[in-house]
Structure 1
Amino acid sequence: MSNRFKGEWWRDYQRGLRREKWRVLAPDRLSILFVCAGGVFALLAVALLVGSMISEWRSEPKEADQKRAPAPKPFKTAWEGIIRTREDLWPILKDFDPLLYAGESGRVVHYAGKPLTVKTGIDATIQSAVAGLLQRSQTIRSAAVVMDPFSGRILALAGYDQNGKGNEVCLQADFPAASLFKIVAAAAAVEGAGLSPDSPLYYNGGRYTLYKSQLNDKRTRYTHQVALKEAFGLSINPVFGKLGSFTLGQDLLQDFAARFMFNHPIPFDLPLEESRIEVPQTAFGLAEIASGFNKRTLISPLHGALFSSAVANGGVMMVPWLVEEVKDDSGRTLYKAEPAVMARPVGAATARKLRVMMQETVKGGTCRRTLKRLTRKKPFDTMEIGAKTGTINDPTNTHKIDWLSAYVIDPDRKEGVCVAVMGMHGERLGIRAPELGRLILDDCVF
């Protein structure tokens, strides 16, 4: 056998073996191929199914999420939160008439198309009596405020104006404070300068004048000596003029005026004008301010009541309030008054000394012919009465203005009232403020 033949034969033999191997392995490879293909199709099917389930799961909210979802907020009516401050009461009380709002049941008013029941602290009997008294007072304009100094409740808010709109007079700061400012000056003298009601003081000339010649320390045989409480009770201008010029000064007077709420808004349920004062630097200007002998220190009758209320209440001035509560037509309370402290102009010790001075006004001062008469009657014989008066012309020198700021209290039980009365008179004097105050206390309140 040739080598070539042998080589060809070998190669043919090897090719035959490979073909034989392929014939043996071919069925197994096809099986594997089909298995792999089936697996791929199965995976694709599973992927499509899972994708569909995920899509449906995302499109529908979970039950747990539905439980955690916040509930919709309830519908808020127009009245929720409408009365947040006292200024929110102003439009509700537009054209306010105290007598119409007096009484236990209150008054129904309509505001923004909604019925509201407004109940005030006004005493109907006192309000009616005081209003009738002012109408008979023969004054051009007059005002009276009766309040509880311990809670700030307004019991009566009455005004008279011969041209109408009398109820607004109580809230107008258009009237010179006159000697009512001596309450502030006396507070500064006691707490700021260390004086006492019995401190001796001196003056020359008349009690109710104020000249530059009276503002000196010269003492002659005509010089008068008085205690501070007597000077306060008799409202002696030169004594307080000298205190303002030489003892108190501008800074102290400004400080105590601010403590008594001058040049500061007083929160109230109706628009209340701000009382104004300008304390000058000159010696004579300070004398005028301290004695009240000027026409630039302007207050409202309501503010006048707050002067005596702070003294009666141990140096604490409460926020005055008129409206006790406001309810909507469903009975829901939208507003309720809560007694609150507005200022502490003086300490309790100073307040006690100021009460001594205001009692002196009744015992032997400018109220000895009016309020002193009450001390002999019940129930006043067991109560403490203090007051301060004031008289001055208006800024135009056309009308005379007089004042009374007084308190009647049982200091042990912390009960009683404060009253402020302002009267403006023409050529013919009507009933003076101290006498109006006596009538209010005797015939209207007690």
Structure 2
Amino acid sequence: MERLPYAQRMRNRCIAITVLVTIIIAIVHCSTKDDPVPPAEPAEPQVATAVDTLAQAIAPSDTNQNPNGLVALKGIEDEDFESSGNTANGNVASATNATAESTDSVRDTLHIKAQKDPLLADKIDILLRRYHPDLGVILVVDTKTNEIIAWGERRDGQVQNKPDYIGRTTFPAASLAKLVTIAAAMESNRYSLNTPIPMIGRHHTLYLNQLRVPEKYNGPTMELSEAFARSANPPMAIVGKNVGGKRLNAAAAKLGYNKNFPGNAPNASRYTAPDTGYGLAEVACGFTTSTTLTPLLAAAQVRAILTKKPLEIPWARDMAPFAPQKPLALNLGKFTENTYYGLRESMLRSVTQGTARKHMSTKNMARKNFEALRLGGKTGSLDGNDPAGRYDWFMGFAEAKNDPNKSIVVIVMQMHKEMRSQPATQVAATVINYWAHQNLDLKK
């Protein structure tokens, strides 16, 4: 049976809630009809108001009537809210608070108007106010020019007007460090994207027994690119141990780790792979807080992979001292063409078959935009200490299939404490979708 449209399912749920509440009220009324206490005011109007509020909160947005382009809710299915730990009442409260915050007459918009793409910057600002992560950084870079076209940051309970944290180096890189392992593996000429790697145990754990591969192993395997796309720790750790710490550190250097940049924009991200042992395995799969990454360097890494050029730090004229004010070329060396190809294909597979597939889809993007774009990325999550909480990353890109010059790099880094906001990949998909609406000339 074909599934009903999203809007119709939402209306049906509202009707069901109304009927259920009415039945409950009728039962309560019948059980207390002999009570001498004067009856209270009828509750139906309040119930109807609550149901209307719920319906408004979950109804799909009409982008033609919404100048701010709040299309994030249009494709969000119920399971997305459930996986984020939100209830229906919580969604109503969140939507109400976000609306009040985003329409506040005292909202500071000067930093939005000063950005290269103020419309996209305003969209980012609205998303940060709507989802209110404990710490959130969103960064969008034009791939061709390497210029920062929009950014947003939220911390200390409010959206910031300065990008203080885009170059901060205390954030654990988590599985984004797997880019280094893929690069080192391809540079070694010992691996290709379809090389089978032993897959022992669960994807998201890393125990010593998962690293001990029997001499005549005949168990399950996973291709190298699949291990990257699905963010499987054991096979990536095995690859890292096989290529060795020297090659990992060399690949990390070409991706900008351990580099002191002019003006500390950004600060130096840290990556140090030991020669042997369990520590080498941890670093290779990103299962350690010792490897850190700044959002600005993450954007530079993605852009270098797309352009097949040595790493350059993204720049902006109005973001000093947090980012360079002009293009900053770095003499860090290049990977081989084969390595750049492997990195790009692995990121594409993360969206088509890996951890970014669920949210980087038509659930959060208009179908015409999704089909017109080539999407790639890498997700990562790990507990960190400065500030303390659960870090959730997405680094990736979107480029038009019919015009690769129309391309952006998107970085979303969030930190959650007790309550988790929307996944970083979902936020990134919403940002990409809005950019596509503005920049892609697609027939309706």
Q: Does TM-score exceed 0.5, indicating one fold?
A: yes
**TM-score, length-normalised on structure 1?**
0.66
> Equivalent residue of 2:165, what SS?
helix
Aligned to 1:399: 389
> Equivalent residue of 1:235, what SS?
coil
**TM-score, length-normalised on structure 2?**
0.67
Residue number among 299, 308, 320 corresponding to 2:302 in the alignment: 308
Query: 5 Å matches for 1:313-332?
Result: 313-323=307-317
Query: 5 Å matches for 1:133-144?
Result: 133-144=127-138
Distance in 2, Cα, partners of 1:261 & 1:197: 23
Distance in 2, Cα, partners of 1:342 & 1:122: 27
Aligned to 2:126: 132
Contact kept, 8 Å, 1:139 with 1:430, in 2: the verdict is: yes
| Alpha-carbon distance change, 211 to 407 in structure 1, aligned in 2, over 3 angstroms | same
Residue number among 179, 204, 208 corresponding to 1:208 in the alignment: 204
Distance in 2, Cα, partners of 1:205 & 1:439: 34
1:230 aligns with 2:226: yes
1:260 aligns with 2:255: yes
Aligned to 1:177: 173
Residue number among 90, 95, 100 corresponding to 2:110 in the alignment: 100
Aligned to 2:379: 389
Aligned to 1:435: 426
Paired letter, 1:389: T
Post-superposition offset of 1:441: 1.0
- Please identify, of 347-356 and 413-422, the stretch whose mean Cα deviation from structure 2 is larger: 347-356
Aligned to 1:118: none
Distance in 2, Cα, partners of 1:404 & 1:292: 14
**Structure 2: runs of 5 or more not aligned:** 1-106, 438-444
| Alpha-carbon distance change, 376 to 352 in structure 1, aligned in 2, over 3 angstroms | farther
Contact kept, 8 Å, 2:361 with 2:370, in 1: the verdict is: no
1:275 aligns with 2:285: no
For residues 338-357 of structure 1, the C-alpha deviation after alignment (integer angstroms, 9 at most, x for no partner) is 57466444233321221111
- Please identify, of 277-286 and 206-215, the stretch whose mean Cα deviation from structure 2 is larger: 277-286
Distance in 1, Cα, partners of 2:245 & 2:366: 42
Distance in 2, Cα, partners of 1:410 & 1:352: 18
Paired letter, 2:378: K
Distance in 1, Cα, partners of 2:340 & 2:404: 17
Aligned to 1:360: 349
1:288 aligns with 2:278: no
Contact kept, 8 Å, 2:314 with 2:327, in 1: the verdict is: no
> Equivalent residue of 2:131, what SS?
coil
> Equivalent residue of 2:153, what SS?
strand
Post-superposition offset of 1:417: 0.2
Aligned to 1:351: 340
Which of the pair has more CA radius of gyration?
1
Query: 5 Å matches for 1:145-164?
Result: 145-163=139-157
1:189 aligns with 2:199: no
Pairwise CA RMSD of aligned residues?
2.9
| Alpha-carbon distance change, 371 to 128 in structure 1, aligned in 2, over 3 angstroms | same
Contact kept, 8 Å, 1:177 with 1:390, in 2: the verdict is: yes
Paired letter, 2:222: V
Post-superposition offset of 1:201: 1.0
Contact kept, 8 Å, 1:130 with 1:444, in 2: the verdict is: no
For residues 198-255 of structure 1, the C-alpha deviation after alignment (integer angstroms, 9 at most, x for no partner) is 111112111110011111222789832111111011000000111111x221111111
Paired letter, 2:370: F
Distance in 1, Cα, partners of 2:208 & 2:325: 53
**Structure 1: runs of 5 or more not aligned:** 1-96, 107-120, 327-334
Contact kept, 8 Å, 2:129 with 2:159, in 1: the verdict is: no
Contact kept, 8 Å, 2:351 with 2:360, in 1: the verdict is: yes
Contact kept, 8 Å, 1:150 with 1:414, in 2: the verdict is: yes
Post-superposition offset of 1:324: 7.3
Post-superposition offset of 1:193: 3.9
**What is the aligned-residue identity percentage?**
27
Residue number among 373, 391, 398 corresponding to 1:408 in the alignment: 398
Distance in 2, Cα, partners of 1:410 & 1:186: 25
Paired letter, 2:287: F
> Equivalent residue of 2:164, what SS?
helix
Aligned to 2:194: 198
Distance in 2, Cα, partners of 1:164 & 1:185: 37
Post-superposition offset of 1:443: 2.8
Paired letter, 1:424: M
Distance in 2, Cα, partners of 1:265 & 1:396: 20
Contact kept, 8 Å, 1:201 with 1:227, in 2: the verdict is: yes
Contact kept, 8 Å, 1:406 with 1:419, in 2: the verdict is: yes
Contact kept, 8 Å, 1:129 with 1:444, in 2: the verdict is: no
For residues 297-323 of structure 1, the C-alpha deviation after alignment (integer angstroms, 9 at most, x for no partner) is 111111222222122222443331111
> Equivalent residue of 2:368, what SS?
coil
For residues 145-194 of structure 1, the C-alpha deviation after alignment (integer angstroms, 9 at most, x for no partner) is 10012221001121110345843122211110000011111011112243
- Please identify, of 409-418 and 435-444, the stretch whose mean Cα deviation from structure 2 is larger: 409-418
Contact kept, 8 Å, 1:147 with 1:155, in 2: the verdict is: yes
For residues 382-405 of structure 1, the C-alpha deviation after alignment (integer angstroms, 9 at most, x for no partner) is 331111000111137951111000
Distance in 2, Cα, partners of 1:267 & 1:348: 28
1:417 aligns with 2:427: no
